[in-house]
Structure 1
Amino acid sequence: MTPEMISEIAKQGIYVTILVLSPILGIALVVGLIISIFQSVTQIQEQTLVFVPKILAVFLGILFLAPWMLNHLLNFTQNIFANLSNYAG
């Protein structure tokens, strides 16, 4: 296994990780921003107000995006196993 192969596998792994996690992080960011705007407008400065909507939004995002996320992770894993002889040999 050459250093180029290792760096290519690492690059693909990082790409898949960012691709899979970015929608969930985006959902959390948008919900946090909406709650922050709501807190600024109403002058409610309760710190715990942000957590419950964010957790629910992330949970719903994972629930709806799970098949898409799993598909990308399975494709990456199948690619690794399909080329295992190239990596080990």
Structure 2
Amino acid sequence: MDTSAVLDIGLQALILAGKLAAPILITALVVGFAVSLLQSITQVQEVTLSFVPKAIAVAIALLIAGHWMIGEVVSFTTQMFGRIPTLLGG
């Protein structure tokens, strides 16, 4: 296995991690911004008001995007198992 193969696998893994994290992070960002805006308008500074809506929104995002996320991981794993013979030089 040469350096370029290792770098290629690492790059693919990082891209996959970014794709998988994006729906959850964007959901938490949007909901957190909306709650912060609401808190600053009403001047109510309660910690649970920012945590609970984010937790619910992230759970809903996982329910919606979870099937796609698992499919991406399975596809990547299958692709990596398929590359084992070429990586070992066989």
Into which bin does the TM-score normalised by the smaller protein fall? Answer: over 0.9
Q: CA deviation at 1:77?
A: 0.5
Given the alignment of the two structures, is residue 42 of structure 1 paired with residue 42 of structure 2, yes or no? yes
Q: Deviations over 1:61-88 (max 9, x none)?
A: 0011011111111111010001111112
Given the alignment of the two structures, is residue 62 of structure 1 paired with residue 62 of structure 2, yes or no? yes
Which stretches in structure 1 are left out of the alignment for 5+ residues? none
- Give % identity: 37
Map residues 1-89 of structure 1 onto 2, 5 A cutoff: 1-89=1-89
Aligned partners of 1:57 and 1:31: how far apart in 2? 7
Q: CA RMSD in A?
A: 0.8
Aligned partners of 2:48 and 2:29: how far apart in 1? 16
TM-score by structure 1 length? 0.96
The DSSP-based 3-state class of the residue aligned with 1:44 is coil
Which stretches in structure 2 are left out of the alignment for 5+ residues? none
Q: Relative contact order (C-alpha < 8 Å, sep 6+): which is higher?
A: 1
Aligned partners of 1:52 and 1:11: how far apart in 2? 35
